[in-house]
């Protein structure tokens, strides 16, 4: 029981189509100023044909495997955090397995909303404690644009699509997952939920065609009490960070970079303030990609990695919050 997870490769995939706030002004009664001021979001990516959840996940996986120097046949396990798989059955993870040819792996999805990637990473870590030689593909992938109600300005402006992936194996040194704590509270499910509705594609998914307002879509998909979600997200992630750091005897000044779930720039600023972390140490992609649920953290991690923001030995904090409610925090030595 000595192993712990370390990341040996990261990758991400973003859909080609960029949906701007100005385009959203043509779809619902909103404005660039409102969206930018309330959320920090300027653009988000929208998946089109050939960019289904499992395909984006596979593209991100290829990049992570290339960086790790690991072939698909070497993979022992694939876990995908997602709430927007193509189908209820088979899992997105099985479709990824087929797509990349990971014939020796077993595969399953984790449904923990925006916390899905961190939940999956934690599960991988538990396996690696017993079998540190395993090579595990951990993915967060979402096609939220196919589920949101494009008439509901309260929600449709917030979300985007994409996928991020990591190849994880047992650490032989000091690096890797140092500590983690996951939480959920099903009593609060009604504050943020997503109906099991058929796919409904974004009106601009055909690239460039924005139909008349209210001429598409058929009712509510996301149910969200935005103010309450905001309040709980800041409070619970803040408490989770403080509890984990206290438990591990680490001060917030020791943290080199926080890579959080990207839900809202104001949530991230409030969280940083609450835990006394300089906002300069918070990595953000929300401006470009909006909230891509379970995909947002691994996309941000991959971008930070490829930009050279992550130096060997750096102490990282991953913090997530999502529907369920689910939330969690991970302390990671890069």
* CA 238 vs CA 88, 232, 292, 310, 320: distances in Å: 33, 9, 21, 23, 10
CA distance 267 to 271: 6
Catalytic residue from among 114, 166, 202, 217: 114
Catalytic residue from among 94, 156, 264, 291: 291
At which residue do the structure tokens 């000595």 appear?
A: 2
Closest to ligand COA by CB, 154 or 256: 154
322 makes contact with ligand COA (CB under 6 A)? yes
Closest to ligand COA by CB, 40 or 170: 40
Closest to ligand COA by CB, 8 or 301: 301
Closest to ligand COA by CB, 38 or 269: 38
CA distance 62 to 136: 13
Closest to ligand COA by CB, 146 or 192: 192
291 catalytic residue (yes or no): yes
At which residue do the structure tokens 């709980």 appear?
A: 232
Of 154, 223, 256, 287, the one binding ligand COA by CB under 6 A = 154
305 catalytic residue (yes or no): no
305 makes contact with ligand COA (CB under 6 A)? no
E strand or H helix at 114, and its extent? Answer: none
Q: Are 175 and 312 in contact, with CB atoms under 8 Å apart?
A: yes
**Least distance to ligand COA from the beta carbon of 21, Å?**
9
Of 18, 23, 32, 34, the one binding ligand COA by CB under 6 A = 34
Q: What are phi and psi of 272, to 5 degrees?
A: -60, -45
State the number of binding residues for ligand COA (CB under 6 A): 19
Of 32, 38, 178, 197, the one binding ligand COA by CB under 6 A = 38
CB-based burial label for 248 (10 Å; 0-12, 13-18, 19+): exposed
Residue ranges in 158-187 that form contacts with ligand COA under rule CB under 6 A: none
**Least distance to ligand COA from the beta carbon of 154, Å?**
5
Residue 241 CB: number of other CB atoms within 10 A? 24
314 catalytic residue (yes or no): no
Our separate counts of H helices and E strands in the chain read 10, 13
Residue ranges in 220-279 that form contacts with ligand COA under rule CB under 6 A: 224, 226-227, 229-230, 263-264
Instruction: Find the residue with minimal CB distance to ligand COA.
Output: 226
- Residue 60's contacts (CB-CB under 8 Å, 6 or more residues apart) are 11, 12, 13, 139, 141, 163, 164, 165, 298, 302
Q: What are the residues binding ligand COA (CB under 6 A)? A: 30, 34-35, 38-39, 114, 153-154, 157, 224, 226-227, 229-230, 263-264, 291, 321-322
Catalytic residues: 114, 261, 291
């Amino acid at each position: 029981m000595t192993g712990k997870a370390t990341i040996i490769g990261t990758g991400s995939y973003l859909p080609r189509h960029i949906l701007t706030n100005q385009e959203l002004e043509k779809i619902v009664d909103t404005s660039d100023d409102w969206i930018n001021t309330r959320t920090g979001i300027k653009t988000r990516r929208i998946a089109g044909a050939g960019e289904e959840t499992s395909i984006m996940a596979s593209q991100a996986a290829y990049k992570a495997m290339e960086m790790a120097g690991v072939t698909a046949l070497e993979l022992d396990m694939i876990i995908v955090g997602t709430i927007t798989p193509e189908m209820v059955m088979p899992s997105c993870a099985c479709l990824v397995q087929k797509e990349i040819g990971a014939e020796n792996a077993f595969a399953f999805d984790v449904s923990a909303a925006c916390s899905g990637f961190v939940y999956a990473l934690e599960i991988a870590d538990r396996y690696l404690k017993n079998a540190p030689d395993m090579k595990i593909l951990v993915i967060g992938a979402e096609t939220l644009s196919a589920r949101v109600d494009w008439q509901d300005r309260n929600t449709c402006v917030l979300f985007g699509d994409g996928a991020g992936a990591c190849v994880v194996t047992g650490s032989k040194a000091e690096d890797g997952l140092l500590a983690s704590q996951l939480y959920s509270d099903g009593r609060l499910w009604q504050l943020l939920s997503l109906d099991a509705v058929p796919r409904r594609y974004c009106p601009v998914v055909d690239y460039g065609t924005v139909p008349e307002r209210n001429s598409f879509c058929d009712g509510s998909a996301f149910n969200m009490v935005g103010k309450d979600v905001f309040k709980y997200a800041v409070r619970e992630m803040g408490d989770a960070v403080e509890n984990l750091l206290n438990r591990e005897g680490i001060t917030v000044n020791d943290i080199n970079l926080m890579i959080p779930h990207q839900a809202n720039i104001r949530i991230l600023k409030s969280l940083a303030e609450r835990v006394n972390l300089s906002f300069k140490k918070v990595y953000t992609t929300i401006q470009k990609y909006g909230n891509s649920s379970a995909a947002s953290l691994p996309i941000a991690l991959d971008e930070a990695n490829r930009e050279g923001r992550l130096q060997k030995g750096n102490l990282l904090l991953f913090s997530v919050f999502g529907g369920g409610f689910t939330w969690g925090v991970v302390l990671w030595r890069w």
